[in-house]
Chains A and B, each alone.
Chain A
């Protein structure tokens, strides 16, 4: 319905559809051989940025979660402070902070600043997922493990974390999907990922309808593949 009315609306305003010009932005096949197009390169870049940032988010997330759950007063205060500051700052503002403020100070290029910003922002979200997953394991597991003399790191590593994985995977998948989507925001500091490339193509060709539709579908396909992939992993950790 929406697509139909959008199409009709476009027809009414005399939009000149040029879908045939889109495929060459994915790949070209000429006498010189096969070549990836700009959108394909953008996809790779988006996945690269998101993966690096996600890795950072997971590392940061687990650190913050463990600090938050620790008996150290300073650790807990640090974790809560970090969480509240990051969660209550808009992602766009955070990105500007990283690029325009921290960038010059620590000599970060736009790429590093973007990855760090995404990693920190989602790290806060991921830490809450970890905390919830760890708390979902019954306290009896702690007592059982401690009563055989395990140290706190051992309890986490051998008893608690393996059991919390199944509580964490579904929300972590959601967070990974969010990460890919929010990575589009780094186009405002002109990192050459999918959204930036889409914008560049449009400013060259004026095919805004075709390209934005295409970009949206590409994001959809990437995130769907991710979700389906993780649901297979989830089945492995399901309780029998």
Chain B
């Protein structure tokens, strides 16, 4: 589904991604972790063209991604994204947030889109909030709305960019539960940048560790958590698992 070879990305002189080789198979659930500034978010944002890589080749769902590509909108209709800051539309109600994509982009009828949206709100456990505005919801609820918004587009790939990092601790679990639920529902390809190692252990098929713009280690979760091969990865895991 995602095939990246030799990706490089520069911000001015700073190299954010260094020679990234990475692939995700259909239905695979990949968790990317690493210290902040290691390029995880940059990488995941390349997958739907929010950032453009400067060198190398990236193919997502059969569509080659590059700067100025005319197929980028087609791609984004197949790749959903959940952001750290939710990025809900504050001037629209929850229901409108969920239906605007299907109605305007997928050209569905209002009734169909609304019925669909209510199903997905059910799935993220907040059907009763449909007519509220995002600002009236808690952070955890907002993030679940954001997940539902992506689900409503019925994409084949979902990208999660640190979905729980902006949440208060007591709200992290309600969002993770929804994500576990999605992962276990099967069929969907998921790429998730997160520091939630419990979640990673539970759902990941593959763990990827990044540092300083490079992929340092790729491993199945059992081996990744018990016997990481590289020293940097060991240090990182020690730091975050000790607490």
Interface residues of A (CB under 8 A from B): 140-141, 143-151, 154, 158-159, 162-163, 239-240
Q: Can you identify 22 A-B contacts, CB atoms within 8 angstroms?
A: A140-B83, A140-B85, A141-B89, A144-B87, A144-B89, A145-B89, A146-B50, A147-B48, A147-B50, A147-B76, A147-B87, A148-B80, A148-B100, A148-B149, A149-B101, A149-B105, A150-B105, A158-B104, A162-B91, A163-B91, A239-B90, A240-B133
In the complex, what distance in Å separates the CA atom of A148 from the CA atom of B91? 17
17 new A-B contacts, CB < 8 A, other than A140-B83, A147-B83, A163-B90, are A140-B85, A140-B87, A141-B87, A143-B83, A144-B86, A144-B87, A145-B89, A147-B50, A147-B150, A148-B77, A148-B105, A148-B149, A149-B77, A149-B101, A149-B105, A163-B89, A163-B91
Cβ A144 vs Cβ B73 within 8 A: no
Instruction: Tell me the nearest residue of chain B to A139, going by C-beta.
Output: B87
Render B68-107 as a binary contact track against A, CB cut-off 8 A, 1 for contact.
0000011011011101011111110000000011001100
For residue A144, which residues in chain B have a CB less than 8 angstroms away from its CB?
Answer: 83, 86-89, 146
In the complex, what distance in Å separates the CA atom of A140 from the CA atom of B73? 17
Cβ B73 vs Cβ A151 within 8 A: yes
In the complex, what distance in Å separates the CA atom of A83 from the CA atom of B83? 37
Cβ B91 vs Cβ A143 within 8 A: no
- Pick the most buried of A140, A149, A151, A163: most chain B CB atoms within 10 A of its CB: A149
Closest chain A CB from B4 CB (angstroms): 19
Question: Does B204 reach chain A (CB closer than 8 Å)?
Answer: no
Interface residues of B (CB under 8 A from A): 48, 50, 73-74, 76-77, 79-81, 83, 85-91, 100-101, 104-105, 133, 135, 146, 149-150, 153
Instruction: Tell me the nearest residue of chain B to A237, going by C-beta.
Output: B91
Closest chain B CB from A240 CB (angstroms): 7
Instruction: Tell me the nearest residue of chain B to A166, going by C-beta.
Output: B91
Closest chain A CB from B41 CB (angstroms): 12
Closest chain B CB from A182 CB (angstroms): 33
In the complex, what distance in Å separates the CA atom of A32 from the CA atom of B133? 60
Cβ B50 vs Cβ A143 within 8 A: yes
Cβ A146 vs Cβ B76 within 8 A: yes
For residue B135, which residues in chain A have a CB less than 8 angstroms away from its CB?
Answer: 239-240
In the complex, what distance in Å separates the CA atom of A26 from the CA atom of B77? 63
In the complex, what distance in Å separates the CA atom of A139 from the CA atom of B170? 28
Cβ A148 vs Cβ B87 within 8 A: no
Cβ B101 vs Cβ A148 within 8 A: yes
For residue A239, which residues in chain B have a CB less than 8 angstroms away from its CB?
Answer: 90, 135
For residue A149, which residues in chain B have a CB less than 8 angstroms away from its CB?
Answer: 73-74, 76-77, 101, 105, 153
In the complex, what distance in Å separates the CA atom of A240 from the CA atom of B133? 9
Cβ B81 vs Cβ A147 within 8 A: yes
Cβ A148 vs Cβ B89 within 8 A: no
Residue from B79, B89, B150 within 8 A of A159 (CB atoms): B89
Cβ A143 vs Cβ B87 within 8 A: yes
Closest chain B CB from A152 CB (angstroms): 10
Cβ B104 vs Cβ A154 within 8 A: yes
Closest chain B CB from A80 CB (angstroms): 23
Instruction: Tell me the nearest residue of chain B to A154, going by C-beta.
Output: B104
Residue from A141, A143, A145, A148 within 8 A of B150 (CB atoms): A148
Minimum-distance CB pairs A-B, first 5? A144-B87, A148-B101, A149-B77, A147-B81, A140-B87
